[in-house]
Amino acid sequence: MSELPRTIVEAGQWLRSGKITATELTEAMLARCHAAQDRLGAFNVITDEAAMAAARAADAEFARGIDRGPLLGIPLGIKDLLATSDAPTTANSRLLDPSWGQREDATVVRKLRDAGAVLMGKTVLHEFAIGWPDPATGFPIARNPWDPTRTPGGSSSGTGTAVCAGLVLGGLGSDTGGSIRGPASYCGISGLKPTFGRVSKEGAVPLGYSLDTVGPLARTARDCAIIFDVIAGYDPADPCTVNVPVPSMTAGLDGTLAGVRIGIPRDYFFTAPELDAEVKAAVLAAVETMRGAGATVVEIDLPYSESAAAAQRVTISVEAYAYHERNLREQPELYGMHTRLRLMQGMLFTAADFVQAQRVRSVVRDAWTAAMRAVDVLIVPSSTAVAPTFESYDGAKVDTSPTFTGVWNLVGFPALSAHCGFSKAGLPIGMQIVGAPFTEPMLLRVGDAYQRITDWHTRVPEANPATEVTA
Total residue count of the chain as it appears in this document: 471
pLDDT score at 394:
86
> How far is it between the farthest Cα atoms of the chain?
62
Question: How far, in Å, CA of 77 to CA of 85, rounded?
Answer: 14
The active-site residue out of 156, 157, 179, 317 is 179
Helix (H) or strand (E) holding 263: strand 261-264
pLDDT score at 462:
82
SS3 352: helix
Question: How far, in Å, CA of 357 to CA of 340, rounded?
Answer: 23
pLDDT score at 467:
40
CA dihedral 354, 355, 361, 367 (to 10 degrees): -150
Fold of 8-306+351-468: Amidase signature (AS) enzymes (3.90.1300)
Helix (H) or strand (E) holding 342: helix 337-344
pLDDT score at 400:
84
Domain boundaries, the chain: 8-306+351-468
Question: How far, in Å, CA of 51 to CA of 12, rounded?
Answer: 17
Question: How far, in Å, CA of 350 to CA of 352, rounded?
Answer: 5
Quick one: which of 311, 406, 412, 305 has its CA closest to 356?
311
Phi, psi (5° rounding) for residue 18?
A: 85, 5
Task: Please write down the HEC assignment for all residues of 204-228.
Answer: ECCCCCCCCEEEEEECCHHHHHHHH
Q: Which residues contact 248 (CB under 8 A, 6 or more apart)?
A: 229, 441
Question: How far, in Å, CA of 32 to CA of 2, rounded?
Answer: 10
pLDDT score at 396:
78
Helices (H) and strands (E) in the chain, counts: 14, 11
For residue 374, which amino acid is it? A
pLDDT score at 2:
67
155 in catalytic set: yes
SS3 305: helix
The active-site residue out of 79, 111, 193, 201 is 79
For 357-414, give the DSSP string: HHHHHHHHHHHHHHHHTT-SEEEEES-SSSPPBSTT--HHHHHHS--SSHHHHHHT--
* Mean pLDDT per 10-residue segment, the chain (471 residues): 90 98 98 98 98 98 98 98 97 94 95 98 98 96 98 98 98 98 98 98 98 98 98 98 97 97 98 98 98 98 98 98 98 97 96 98 98 98 97 85 96 98 98 98 98 98 50 26
pTM, rounded to two decimals: 0.97
Question: How far, in Å, CA of 468 to CA of 182, rounded?
Answer: 27
Pairing mode, if any, of strands 170-175 and 75-79?
Answer: parallel
Burial of 196 (0-12, 13-18, 19+ CB in 10 A): buried
79 in catalytic set: yes
The active-site residue out of 93, 111, 122, 155 is 155
424 in catalytic set: no
- Cβ atoms within 10 Å, residue 413: 24
